[in-house]
Structure 1
Amino acid sequence: MNTQGITGRIKATTAWADPNRYGRSDRSTVGRWFWEIDRVLLFMLALLIGFGLIAVAAASPAAAQRYSGGSVRFAELHYFYRQIAWIGISLPFMILISMQPRDRLRRLSLVGALACIAALALVPIVGAEVNGARRWLNLGIGQFQPSEFLKPFFVISMAWMLSLKERDKSLPIFALSGVIVALIAVLVMRQPDFGSTIIFATVWIAMLAIAGLNMRVLLGLGVAGLVGVVLAYFFYDVATARIDGFLFGEGDNFQTENAMRTLTAGGLFGMGPGAGTRKFGLPEPHTDYIFSVIGEEFGLIACLAVAFLYLAIVARVLIKLLDEESSFAILAAAGLVIQFGLQALINMAVNVQIAPSKGMTLPFISYGGSSMLALSIAMGLLLAFTRRNPYLTRSPYVVKWGGENIAR
């Protein structure tokens, strides 16, 4: 009897159960990733995606009824099934990106940013129009929203540019980055998409502050931003309609009022899964106003839990960056998590009627293929830039800005 062959087969079939397979001595790509990745952050993101699936399942019947026109063209859980498919496509991207070295991600992000800016320029010309906005390019098999994919690539590209200032103070990096942001703002506002314009500008200013820009200049940029909003109100029709509706109850204010009534209808503990009725009156129950659906069916307690989870993710990343030594990594990770948290904050603010409607999704909660894939790319980048060598000792108090490898 060939005992060696049997033993070999037993070892092969039980290798996955070997407790030392992903031990600290494992130097394979997966082994290094397992020990370097922020598993707490990864768990919180998985929790958010799981809760998002539950929320989409709750909102799907209302969305299916609205977009089927009362026919049986859409099953009640049509959007829930599609969301599962999009998650199945997106999550492998997130994990694969999180395994890549920082220098490779920097190069890919620069290429991605250039490609997305070029795509943004094409949107007003050949883009598909949905609900009065032209933000998507039709690829045949689906629609592609360049502004969503540009967001993470923009952050990494800006982080790389701003980190160059540490090596050569004479480089006009701040001014050049401002020109790029202005170009993106013009292209995005043509769609029109005022909400994304605010996100790009706010994230850029936050990254400038982290990079050490003079406080007076930062205050000047803040004032310029307020002036820009005022000018948008007078000369940009979309901003005028949204702000009038929010401040004076004129124009399209029905959406935010209806969202607020839906959110509070469930009280503290909600009406129960599938028991909500006000959600059928929401214009976008599975995307823009899914936070209100959560409130109606699962209660204000669930809304607070979701908000706390977003806050915990932002806090986790920012605290973790306190002992990071690479200025490039600090700017990249901080920019990505600020962008993530700001988008969530704006969506929730619209749903509780403290901000005008902006057509912005709730990250990892709202339904959407482009949104899910773009967010997975962004969080894959975030996981990559927060990876830590478990054997590397860093000072928890001193952040080193000069003399490091910016592509680290």
Structure 2
Amino acid sequence: MSSLFGKYLKGDRVIWIIVIFLYLASLLLIYSSSSSLAFRYHGGNTTYYLFKQFAFLVFGFLVMWFAHLIKYSIWYHLSNILMLITTPLLLFTLLFGRNLNAASRWLEVPGLGISLQTSDIAKIVLVIFVAKYLSKKQDQPRDFNHFIVQLIIPVGFVCALILPANFSTAALLGLTCWIMMLVGRVNLKHLFGITGIGVAFLALFIVVSLQFKNISRAQTWINRVENFISEDKGSDNYQLEQSKIAIATGGIVGKGPGRSTQRNFIPHPYSDFIYAIIIEEYGVLGGMFILSLYLILLYRAALIVRKSKRTFPAFLAFGLALLLTLQAYVNMAVAVGLIPVTGQPLPLVSMGGSSLVISSGALGIILSVSRSQSKKELFDGEQPVTDNN
């Protein structure tokens, strides 16, 4: 095992182990939660989605493996180019993307027969972009105009392009960037001022969207919040009620692998509500185990940050780990009824190709930072973490 990690899987070993556990959990849970659906729509082949997910996992692992071999410095130099590519891609998806659940989120790749959720790509690109900005000239104060033009406008524009079709993704991405700025010691007066402007813009956007129904899914967002706070247990709260039944019947140790009954009643048990299936089959203990894996992932990323001698890899590893962890906990919070339904998948576990591959790539970048620390792969343009101490 040690030779495997030393020769082929470099970087933080704990992160590699976490990934392996989450991949195995994904296979078990996808087979359990989708077998009935596969039987119904694929001629009795209950393993259809299992093998499809396995293919995605293999591809995701390869992406992660190649990403962890690439020097993190390449992302520093490519960040502006990636932003120039991603922004028009988001706009094109918003205007011409394939509709799914009344939202244009997916872009068809011509000739390949596959779809991409471009917002997943944008999340990683924007974190890289923010990490580069925060890493430059940490020892020199920035004026407000520079802050607005160089950082806030690009971040706000990307989030605004994601917002009409996917509020939760835009909010998660905005929150991640906000926390990165806070950790990056952006002037608090500037940061909170921009926050106020952002909240005002969101409120105005929702008001306008309610008048012009085709602009966004604002009415859907409002309905979800109203259903969440309502005491009415009618059909509007069906998803959450079925999820709660799954959790309640799971108990401490669960019903056992493949013995879920609520998978036949919960909408999207293999993606949005997969955490409820985890607790139903593996109990509270299983749910706590999965939750702890993401917490350990964030902790290991914090250790990587602590060891970093340069600011860019520190911000990069922190931002990507924070993004994945926040998404995971939002998925879990929805399943247990702590927040309204959002539609966020559980990273590396939920069924799907786009999210899984991009999440794997993000982890590969984190591992690249970890790998580089022992090899001291540094480059010009960065600032040492200790420059302003």
Q: TM-score range by the shorter chain?
A: 0.7 to 0.9
Out of 105, 110, 115, the residue aligned to residue 135 of structure 1 is: 105
- 2:155 is aligned with 1:181: yes
Deviates more, 1:240-249 or 1:283-292: 240-249
Shift of 1:188: 0.9
- Per the TM alignment, residue 50 of structure 1 is displaced from its structure 2 partner at its CA by 1.6
Distance 1:20 1:325, change over 3 A: closer
1:323 and 2:307 matched: yes
Give the 3-state SS of the residue equivalent to 1:387 in structure 2.
Answer: helix
2:201 is the alignment partner of 1:201: no
Q: After superposing the two structures, state which structure 1 stretch, 320-329 or 78-87, moved more.
A: 320-329
**SS in structure 2 of the partner of residue 402 of structure 1:** helix
Report the alpha carbon displacement of residue 264 of structure 1 after superposing the two structures with TM.
2.2
Q: Which moved more, 1:93-102 or 1:242-251?
A: 242-251
1:80 to partner: Cα distance: 1.1
Gaps (5+ residues) in structure 1?
A: 1-16, 24-30, 393-398, 404-408
| Aligned pairs (5 A) from 1:73-88 | 73=43, 75-88=45-58
In the TM superposition, residue 313 of structure 1 has moved relative to its aligned partner by 0.6
Residue 143 of structure 1 aligns to a residue in which SS?
strand
C-alpha deviations, 1:220-255, integer Å up to 9, x for none? 455556656666665532321121111125784321
- Are residue 124 (structure 1) and residue 66 (structure 2) matched? no
Structure 1 range deviating more: 339-348 or 47-56: 47-56
Q: Which moved more, 1:140-149 or 1:56-65?
A: 56-65
Unaligned residue ranges in structure 2 (runs of 5+): 211-217, 377-383
CA offset at residue 401 of structure 1?
Answer: 3.9
Alpha-carbon RMSD:
2.7
CA distance in 1, matches of 2:162, 2:193: 23
Distance apart, 1:110 and its partner CA: 3.7
Q: 1:109 to 1:187 in 2, by over 3 A?
A: same
d(CA) in 1 for partners of 2:77, 2:245: 47
The secondary structure found in structure 1 opposite 2:87 is: helix
Whole-Å Cα distance in 2 between the matches of residues 383 and 367 of structure 1? 23
Letter in 2 for 1:263: I
2:130 and 2:36 map into 1 onto residues whose CA distance is 40
Kindly indicate whether residue 212 of structure 2 is the aligned counterpart of residue 210 of structure 1. Answer: no
Residue 169 of structure 2 aligns with an amino acid whose one-letter code is S
Partner Cα separation in structure 1 for residue 3 and residue 134 of structure 2: 42
- Alignment map for 1:150-299 (pairs within 5 Å): 150-166=122-138, 169-170=141-142, 172-175=145-148, 176-190=150-164, 192-222=165-195, 235=210, 236-249=218-231, 252-299=236-283
Residue of structure 2 in register with 1:383 after alignment: 367
State the match for 2:379 in structure 1. none
- On the 8 A contact 2:304/2:369 being kept in 1, the answer is no
TM-score by length of 1: 0.82
Relative distance call for 1:58 and 1:387 in structure 2 (3 A) is same
Number of aligned residue pairs: 366
Greater CA radius of gyration, 1 or 2? 1
Equivalent residue letter for 1:145: Q
In structure 2, relative to structure 1, the CA distance for the partners of 1:260 and 1:114 (3 Å cut) is farther
Distance 1:308 1:170 in 2: 38
Instruction: Determine if contact 1:233/1:243 at 8 Å carries over to the other structure.
Output: no
Q: What is the SS of the residue equivalent to 2:16? A: helix
The CA distance in 1 between the partners of 2:373 and 2:174, in whole Å, is 33
CA drift at 1:72: 4.5
Any idea what the Cα deviations from partners look like across 1:112-159, whole Å, max 9, x if unmatched?
A: 333222111011322111122210011242111100111111111111
Query: What residue number does 2:323 align with?
Result: 339
Gap change, CA 1:114 and 1:264, over 3 Å in 2? farther
Q: Give 1:4-43 correspondences, 5 Å limit.
A: 37-43=11-17
Indicate how the Cα distance of structure 1 residues 135 and 266 shifts in structure 2: closer, same or farther if over 3 A, else same. Answer: same
SS of equivalent residue, structure 2 residue 305: helix
CA gap of 1:316–1:253, structure 2 versus 1, over 3 A, is same
In 1, Cα distance between equivalents of 2:310 and 2:3: 32
Contact map agreement 2:72 2:368 (CA 8 A) in 1 = yes
- Work out the percentage of aligned pairs sharing the same amino acid: 25
Maintained 8 Å contact 1:232/1:239 = no
> Match for residue 380 of structure 2?
none
Question: Within the alignment, does 1:96 sit opposite 2:94 as a pair?
Answer: no
Q: Could you give the per-residue CA deviations for residues 303-333 of structure 1, whole angstroms, max 9, x where no partner exists?
A: 0100011101101111331232211111111
Query: Matched residues in 2 for 1:249 and 1:189: separation?
Result: 28
Contact 1:117 1:146 in 2 (8 A): no
Residues 74/20 of structure 1: CA separation in 2 closer, same or farther (3 Å cut): closer
Q: 1:400 aligns with which of 381, 385, 388?
A: 385
The TM-score normalised by the length of structure 2 is: 0.86
Contact 2:95 2:104 survives alignment (8 Å): no
